[in-house]
Amino acid sequence: MIVALLHRLSEKLPRVVHRLSVMMKPQVVFVLGGPGAGKGTQCARIVENYSYTHLSAGDLLREERSRSGSEFGQLIDSFIKEGKIVPVEITINLLKKAMEETMKADEKKFRFLIDGFPRNQDNLQGWNTVMDGKADVKFVLLFDCGNEVCIDRCLERGKSSGRTDDNRESLEKRIQTYLQSTRPIIEQYEKQGKVRTIDASRSVDEVFADVKNILEKEG
């Protein structure tokens, strides 16, 4: 009797787990830091070692900008060249679409690193409005790095990246935008105890050692 009951339970369990995973909301870690702080490099390492999907707000915008027939392409292009922040509706819709497509393709992929977002109060309000109850923000992973280190890294990257914004003039504008617009967002999350700060001025391996400690502690 008990054996038969356990057998039936073991058959039902995968279906229960399947239903729970289908209902799972995206679990989000916001990855922030100045341009050149190493967000993309560290996100790539995290994806290799942990069950996260990396979504870069900047990459999604650049892809949309270059996509043939995009209604937002020209608008995105002008904002990026000026080092300004793209309207929130565009960015959030691209992020939401990417998360939905990822989870639809593989229900086990519900953990996301969202890199370079939210960048300002408008971004945060937009996220809270559109994604309220639809995603859980676990914490903010902050890569903290001095301005000159960031600029030097981006100028070096610009030699091969092909990015139009990897030049000193655009970089200085982007850093000012980060300090004026993104730092206040980080401070808001700090008040909630949701910021995990890493000294990003060190080598890739040293930075990733700290990242591992944080992710293993957070679970």
End-to-end CA distance of the chain: 38
114 assigned binding-site residue? no
Residue 29 among known ligand-binding residues: no
Tell me the β-bridge partners of 111.
27
Is 36 assigned a ligand-binding role in the annotation? yes
Query: Is 39 part of any known ligand binding site?
Result: yes
Residue 153, annotated ligand binder?
A: no
Asked whether residue 111 is marked as a ligand-binding residue, the answer is no
Q: Is 147 known as a binding-site position?
A: no
b/e burial code for range 188-199 (CB count within 10 A of at least 16 → b): ebeeeeebbbbe
Q: 174 a known binding residue? A: yes
Does 194 appear as a known binding residue? Answer: no
**67 marked among binding-site residues:** no
196 is known to lie in a ligand binding site: no
The annotation status of 84 as a binding-site residue, yes or no, is: yes
Does the annotation list 37 as a binding residue?
A: yes
Query: Residue 123, annotated ligand binder?
Result: yes
Flag whether 15 is marked binding: no
Report DSSP letters for 32-83, one per residue: EESTTSSHHHHHHHHHHHSS-EEEEHHHHHHHHHHSTT-SSHHHHHHHHHTT
Is 76 annotated as ligand-binding?
no
Answer yes or no: is 4 a known binding residue: no
Nearest residue to 219 (alpha-carbon basis) of 40, 27, 69, 6: 27
DSSP, collapsed to helix, strand or coil, labels residue 84 as coil
Query: Which residue positions form the known binding site?
Result: 36-41, 62, 84-86, 116-119, 123, 157, 163, 174, 202
Residues making up the binding site for ATP = 36-41, 157, 202
> Which residues are annotated binding-site positions for a ribonucleoside 5'-phosphate?
62, 84-86, 116-119, 163, 174
Query: Binding site residues for CMP, as ranges?
Result: 123
